[in-house]
Amino acid sequence: MKIKYELLHKDGNARLGKLHTNHGVVDTPMFMPVGTLANVKTLVPEELKAMNTGIILGNTYHLWLRPGEDIVHKAGGLHKFMNYDGPILTDSGGFQVFSLAKGKNAISEEGVKFKSHIDGTNLMLTPEKSIYIQNMLDSDIAMSFDECPPASASYEYMKKSIERTLRWAKRGKDAFNNPNQSLFGIVQGGYFEDLRKWSAEETVKLDFDGYSIGGVANDHESKEDMYKAIDYSIPYMPEDKPRYLMGVGEPVDIVEGIDRGIDMFDCVLPTRIARHGNAFTRTGKLHMKNAKFREDFTPIEESCDCYTCTHFTKAYIRHLLVANESLAGRLLSIHNIRFLIKLTEDAREAIKNDKYKEFKEKFLKEYKD
Amino acid sequence: MKIKYELLHKDGNARLGKLHTNHGVVDTPMFMPVGTLANVKTLVPEELKAMNTGIILGNTYHLWLRPGEDIVHKAGGLHKFMNYDGPILTDSGGFQVFSLAKGKNAISEEGVKFKSHIDGTNLMLTPEKSIYIQNMLDSDIAMSFDECPPASASYEYMKKSIERTLRWAKRGKDAFNNPNQSLFGIVQGGYFEDLRKWSAEETVKLDFDGYSIGGVANDHESKEDMYKAIDYSIPYMPEDKPRYLMGVGEPVDIVEGIDRGIDMFDCVLPTRIARHGNAFTRTGKLHMKNAKFREDFTPIEESCDCYTCTHFTKAYIRHLLVANESLAGRLLSIHNIRFLIKLTEDAREAIKNDKYKEFKEKFLKEYKD
């Protein structure tokens, strides 16, 4: 069965919805934790479920190299391999291979040549190969293989890149062969208003199960640029399909993205900053190694309902960090992921009550980056 | 309240018992996981409870340096600091500081001078200081500060060392000031039969709440030597007090130790080998990174009831190890600790049924090191 998006309510552009998948019904807008190598770093599935996680991500490039899509397929798919029974989305691998592709002939009509980050082996990823791997991984949602041009690309380059991404999207769709998996198309176009519109319209014509906005997560010059790219794309994305803003997960960006009509977000941020000792709070990030927490026997955030905040103090977490105990990263990952998921829960409640603008204003006022 | 040992049944020298503590009643013989820095590496208290853990260990030397006994005391003691409500035993710090003490004046009647392993600061640990720190940590069981001579020490040196350890034990007992904590004495004497006897008799005269056998964990020339040192000591240790073999946790040694009348074991082995990718099984250790597990979709051990074995396959754990995902260490720690705890559960059942010798023979026949 393909996924099905159900729009329940709108408050301005903000959308409250449900996504029906083969692995359960999940609420949108949602934040999706990243489980690159078939695990959300340091955590087990029960912990993700306890945080009310909806969808998690797997990274196609990483899983292709290790353990290999054949192993995951033989295990019965990614859900069985990692023992996660909720819905899983896989990316296309495009973002990773573009960052590894060097030399002027690396990117061709056929696909992308690059060297493995593990052993330098020469490899090639094509639209067909990306789809094949994702079909084998058997995630609930697969992503089209798109070109990821830098935000600094010229108008002419961006236009040609969109044309290629459309051809690749068509090739991937033609190669697609998994009736239990859905496929998303990706809107590109940098910060050019007409290109975003054109990319969205042409991608929608190919008829995907959902649509995402790419090319904004990493090298936008300002957050305003990112928000503009969303505003340029959203009006041309159908109301009856989910909308996914790829690679974005700063709390402020989630709040702004929801306001613009985004349903799905993903980012490595909550687990990455956890490993560096940082915790999200409603008033901004805390560096938990700070000496001021030495004798602070209160939780990271009094109002937080996560396992970490209901069981441990700042002083204990600081101690674990200072002593280089990896449990610190685990406890902070739990807190940070739960923080973003709770943020989307609160956002959904606000949309339901037609109070999203007030919710957003209050959040942005309190949160200092 | 002090701990109370209840002897329920004997099968040969093997003892089935219960230890009544301020944090619950636990069964002996038992294996105690090591939580050096106020956490059993990568794990949370709920996971330890789910494995049927009795007592866990904290390391006085490490907790003195980080976060400091004052912080733990202000938190309300080690139980509250790390949120573990089961019984905790702390070592004296002696073992660590003796390994850090250099130069011929490092060890004196007063105590041991050494350099901090963190920043090289000159520090001194004395019997009184060790007891003070442990009183502040507020563990259920504290250990006397003893000299840890090398196994290669001469008879004369060993004799003098025992005399000093007895004086230190007395000083520690006099300084002891925590009515809710129990204190164990330590029997030394290397592999000299008469010195073990003498050390045991003199230590027992000082009247502790339990007794341990020291000096066998790390530099015995053969396992037979270790077992001899136990045999030399046990007859002089009172039946109505618990007997603790310090730092020993190889499965074979646990089985042999129980046979000789030991009630308590501790070792970093299960978590340390986990971090190196190894798993205990009834037939010996498995190196989980081995290529033969690439497509092995069975658990580490079919008969194991641990969280890891009931949720994940060898292929998945191998993948996590190959990809350097720290979750592997966590899942293997759970399996390895549960393996040793289950081993003691099975041993208790065998003692109860007067079948310990058969149990031991069967185990030693199957387990290949």
Residue that is written with structure tokens 């949120």 in the block: B83
Give the predicted TM-score (pTM) of the model: 0.98
Mean pLDDT for B201-213 is 98
Nearest CA to B86 among B22, B136, B36, B181? B22
CA of A228 to nearest chain B CA: how many angstroms apart?
37
- How many angstroms separate the Cα of B309 from the Cα of each of B313, B318, B342? 7, 13, 13
DSSP string, B160-219: HHHHHHHHHHHHHHHH---TT-EEEEEE--TT-HHHHHHHHHHHHHT--SEEEE-S-SS-
CB pair distance less than 8 Å for A319 and B66:
yes
Cβ atoms within 10 Å of A151's Cβ, excluding its own:
16
Give the separation between CA B82 and CA B87, rounded to whole angstroms: 12
The whole-number pLDDT of residue B369 equals 80
Show the tokens assigned to A3: 């996924």
Range with the poorest average pLDDT among A150-164, B74-88, B288-302: A150-164
Amino acid at B43: L
- The CA distance from B106 to the nearest CA of chain A, in Å, is 26
A187 to chain B, any CB pair closer than 8 A? The answer is no
* Predicted confidence (pLDDT) at residue B150 exceeds the cutoff of 90: no
Q: How far is CA B303 from CA A53, A332, B286, B309, in A?
A: 32, 34, 15, 8
Q: Which residues of A touch B297 (CB under 8 A)?
A: 74-75
Q: Give CA angle at B149 (B143, B152), nearest 5°.
A: 145
d(CA A144, CA A130): 8
Q: Which residue among B42, B44, B323 sits closest to A326, beta carbon to beta carbon? A: B42
Q: How far is A359 from chain B (nearest CA, A)?
A: 35
Q: Tokens 């990174």 correspond to what residue?
A: B289
pLDDT of residue B219: 66
Q: Which residues of A are catalytic?
A: 91, 266
Residues in chain B: 369
The reply to whether residue A319 touches residue B38, judged by beta carbons under 8 angstroms, is: yes
Average the pLDDT over A321-328 and give the result. 98
Instruction: Please tell me which residue of chain A has the smallest CA distance to B38.
Output: A320
Contacts of B325 in chain A (CB under 8 A): 37, 39, 41
Q: Please judge whether A319 and B71 are an interchain contact, meaning their C-beta atoms are less than 8 angstroms apart.
A: yes
Q: What is the mean pLDDT of chain B?
A: 97
CATH 3.20.20.105 residue spans of chain B: 4-266
The helix/strand/coil state of B30 is: strand
Q: Identify the residue whose tokens are 């991404």.
A: A165
Q: B308 to chain A: nearest residue by CA?
A: A44
Q: Which residues of B47-67 are buried (b: 16+ CB within 10 A; e: fewer)?
A: bbeebbbbbbbbbbbbbbbbb
pLDDT for B221 beyond 80: no
Give the separation between CA B72 and CA B254, rounded to whole angstroms.
32
Which residue of A72, A79, A327 is the best one to mutate when testing the B interface, meaning the one whose CB has the most B CBs within 10 A?
A327
Percentage of residues of chain A with pLDDT beyond 70: 99
- φ, ψ at B357 (rounded to 5°): -60, -45
Mutate to test the interface with B, among A37, A293, A319, A332 (most CBs of B within 10 A): A319
CB contact under 8 A, A313 and B75: yes
The mean per-residue pLDDT over the stretch B117-137 comes to 97
Q: Are B83 and A316 an interchain contact pair (Cβ–Cβ within 8 Å)? A: yes
pLDDT of A300 > 90? The answer is: yes
Please give the share of chain B, as a percent, with pLDDT higher than 90. 96
Q: What is the rounded average pLDDT of the residues A292-306?
A: 98
Distances (CA, A) of A227 to A120, A190, A193: 37, 11, 12
Crossing angle of helices B327-352 and B251-259, in 10° steps, is 20
Give the pLDDT score at A219.
Answer: 67
pLDDT (mean) for A14-39: 98
CB within 8 A of A362, min separation 6: which ones?
Answer: none
Please tell me the distance in Å from A39's CA to the nearest CA on chain B. 8
The beta-carbon neighbor of B322 closest among A66, A313, A318 is: A66
Contact of B49 with chain A, judged by CB distance below 8 Å, is answered with: no
At B241, the amino acid letter reads K
Which among B34, B39, B84, B311 is the top mutation candidate for probing chain A, defined by the most A β-carbons within 10 Å of its own β-carbon?
B39
CB B140 within 8 A of CB B3: yes
Q: Which residue of B has its CA nearest to A76?
A: B297
Listed in sequence order, the DSSP H helices in chain A are 45-50, 60-65, 69-74, 78-82, 94-100, 127-137, 155-175, 193-205, 223-233, 251-259, 269-275, 307-311, 314-322, 327-352, 356-366
pLDDT the model gives residue A369: 80
Q: Which of B44, B45, B75 sits opposite A297 (nearest CB)?
A: B75
Burial B297-327 (b: 16+ CB within 10 A, else e): bebbbeebebbbbebbbbbbbbbbbbbebbb
Is residue A50 less than 8 Å (CB to CB) from chain B?
no
**pLDDT tens digits along A337-359:** 999 999 999 999 999 999 999 99
**Contact assignment for B42 to A71 by CB distance below 8 Å:** no
User: What distance in Å separates the CA atoms of residue B309 and residue A295, rounded to the nearest whole number?
Assistant: 39
A325: contact with B, CB 8 A cutoff: yes
pLDDT at residue B325 above 90? yes
Comparing A215-229, B177-191, B307-321, the range with the smallest average pLDDT is A215-229
B152: confidence class by pLDDT, cuts 50, 70, 90: confident
Nearest CA to CA, how far is B277 from chain A (Å)? 15
Quick check: B335 pLDDT over 80?
Answer: yes
Chain B nearest C-alpha distance from A56 (Å) = 17
Residue A266 phi, psi (nearest 5):
-145, 155
B contacts of A296 (beta carbons < 8 Å): none
Phi, psi torsion values for B206, nearest 5 degrees = -75, -15
In a mutagenesis test of the A interface, which of B70, B316, B318 is the best target, namely the one with the most A β-carbons within 10 Å?
A: B316
Range(s) within chain A of domains with CATH label 3.20.20.105? 4-267
Q: Is the Cβ–Cβ distance between B27 and B258 less than 8 Å?
A: no
Lookup: tokens for A174? 């033609």
> Hey, which residues of B are catalytic here?
91, 266
**CATH 3.40.640.10 is the classification of domain B4-266:** no
What is the C-alpha separation between A280 and A261, in angstroms, rounded? Answer: 24
Residue B110: pLDDT over 80: yes
Q: Do A311 and B44 touch (CB under 8 A)?
A: yes
CB contact under 8 A, B319 and A37: yes
CA distance A289 to chain B (A): 12
Cβ contacts from A onto B, under 8 A: 108
Q: B107: which DSSP letter?
A: B
- CB B75 to CB A322 under 8 A? no
Q: What is the pLDDT of residue B187?
A: 98
pLDDT digits (tens, 9 = 90+) for A81-119: 999 999 999 999 999 999 999 988 999 999 999 999 999
Tell me the nearest-neighbour CA distance from B180 into chain A, angstroms.
23
**Structure-derived torsion over alpha carbons of residues A182, A187, A188, A190, reported in degrees to the nearest 10:** -140
For A4-267, CATH gives 3.20.20.105
Chain A residues with CB inside 8 Å of B116's CB? none
Query: Cβ–Cβ of A295/B71 closer than 8 Å?
Result: yes
Which H or E element spans position B228? helix B223-233
Q: Which pLDDT band, with edges at 50, 70 and 90, does A222 fall under?
A: confident
Q: Which chain A residues touch B323 with a CB distance below 8 Å?
A: 37, 62, 66-67
| Pick from A82, A329, A331: CB nearest B316 | A82
What per-residue confidence (pLDDT) applies to A32? 98
Closest C-alpha among B134, B262, B249 to residue B187: B262
Which of B37, B42, B71 lies closest to A315 in CB terms?
A: B71
Cα B229 to Cα A29, B16, B167, B204: the distances in Å are 66, 22, 22, 17
Do the Cβ atoms of B192 and B233 come closer than 8 Å? Answer: no
Nearest to A327 among B39, B81, B316 (CB): B39
Q: Retrieve residue B5's tokens.
A: 């040992």
